[in-house]
Structure 1
Amino acid sequence: MASRQRLWAGTTLEQRRAARRAALLDAALDLLGEHGGAGVTVRSVCRRAGLTDRYFYENFAGRDELLSALFLQVAEELQQAMEATTPVAGSSREEQARAAVDALVSVCLDDPRKGRLLLVEPLSDPALSGVSIGVAPTFTRLVRRQLPPGASKNESVLTSVALTGAVATLFFGWLSGTLPVSREELIDKCVRTVLLFWGERPRG
């Protein structure tokens, strides 16, 4: 017989803990989007979330663990978006490439905070660089699955790594403000880049 959990204000202890954890992660994402990794501290996160540090340390050992958990959460969101872009029967290579780019856009550009977390901050924040390197192979494997058939294993690996790096660099430039082009121009260039790596000649 399942044990009955004590309710307080209509919620269980585990539900309240989960809500506090989510609030801390949301606060960290907001602060990172506004001020970069340097703006994310235990004190600033607690203040933004409206929680005391007691509740912070109930969930995370420190700032670095919080940022790592946040990175993995958003990386999983991106992974799910990419996995959902299965080729549609009869679709052109360009349509497939645009679907793959749209998956990245839906996470990294539609919410620039997440794009900055995944692509910009790992270059300067040690707490994020390690976890970023750790998840990189997951995304190159996802890219490799979408490559046209026929290439050798080594060629597919090299192409997927190069393509991931090329598109990530374009996104990084746009998010960091060093690539002064419109969002539409960025997306079109990413699609053309994917097609070139696939061995296809873009139209226009």
Structure 2
Amino acid sequence: MELRSSAPSGQRRGRWSGVPLRDRQALRRSELITAGVTLLGGPEGPSLTVRAVCRAAGLTERYFYESFSDRDEFVRAVYDDVCTTAMTALASSSTPREAVEAFVALMVDDPTRGRVLLLAPEREPVLTRSGADWMPTFIGLLQSRLSHVSDPARQQMIATGLVGALTALFTAYLDNRLSATRQQFIDYCSDLVLRRAATH
């Protein structure tokens, strides 16, 4: 008689071997977020259901609801994770070109992340507020790099204009509406930031 494991696919026996109990929930949450990025940033648009996320992560719905109350909370958590990763990369860059290259590496070389950050708020109503909430954070980071501009109001306007322009450029690039090569795109975005910052 053949004995079959009752564990769902991906939840093989020993999966958590060696992981302290107190760390397992955080690890499961991380695996769910990773699956969520892939599904939310899919090339055909979001195809994210609780069941699809659990299947992609190899976890049961029990573990999903261990960390998230519902799909909406999960979608916001996925978006926040991508935004936090982007902010960390940008904040650690010492020059405008480094910042652009870091952002391209994160959001264009791995387009699922880029689609989560820039396209998902247009397709997921639950992210409308999240996108608006994160925008001042990105603007504030850029504004903090404009220390040579003495007027705070001008700093804020320059930073807001640049974030708007760069958002439009990256969105068009991810949507394949620009024919520029990767290098042309980096060069143009870097020059844009440098020109706008230097002329004020």
The TM-score with structure 1 as length reference comes to: 0.83
Matches within 5 A, 1:38-187: 38-86=46-94, 96-147=95-146, 149-187=148-186
C-alpha displacement of 1:30:
1.4
Measure how far apart 1:37 and its partner are: 5.2
Q: Secondary structure at the match of 2:117?
A: helix
Q: Distance in 2 between matches of 1:67 and 1:167?
A: 24
Q: Which runs of 5+ in 1 are unaligned?
A: 1-7, 87-95
| Equivalent in 38, 42, 47 of residue 34 of structure 1 | 42
1:18: how far off? Answer: 1.5
Contact 1:122 1:129 (C-alpha < 8 Å) held by counterparts? yes
Query: Contact between 1:42 and 1:53, CA under 8 Å: does it hold in 2?
Result: yes
Q: Give the share of equivalent positions with the same residue, in percent.
A: 37
Amino acid corresponding to residue 157 of structure 2 in structure 1: L
Tell me the SS of whatever aligns to 1:71.
helix
Opposite residue 167 of structure 1, the aligned amino acid is L
3-state SS in 1 of match to 2:180: coil
Name the CA distance, whole Å, in 2 between partners of 1:9 and 1:82. Answer: 36
Query: Is the partner of 2:30 in helix, strand or coil?
Result: helix
Q: May I ask how many residue pairs the two structures share in their alignment?
A: 184
Q: CA RMSD in A?
A: 1.7
TM-score for both structures, normalised by structure 2: 0.85
CA separation in 2, counterparts of 1:124 and 1:32? 10
Do residues 21 (structure 1) and 21 (structure 2) align?
Answer: no
Shift of 1:52: 1.2
Which amino acid in structure 2 is aligned with residue 62 of structure 1? Answer: D
Confirm or deny: 8 A CA contact 1:37 1:125 kept in the other structure. Answer: no
Q: Map Cα deviations across residues 58-78 of structure 1 (whole Å, 9 max, x no partner).
A: 111111111111111121111
Moved more, 26-35 or 113-122: 26-35
Alpha carbons 1:148, 1:198 under 8 Å: kept = no
2:133 partner letter = G
Report if the CA contact (8 A) 2:41-2:120 is conserved.
no
Secondary structure in 1 aligned to 2:166?
helix
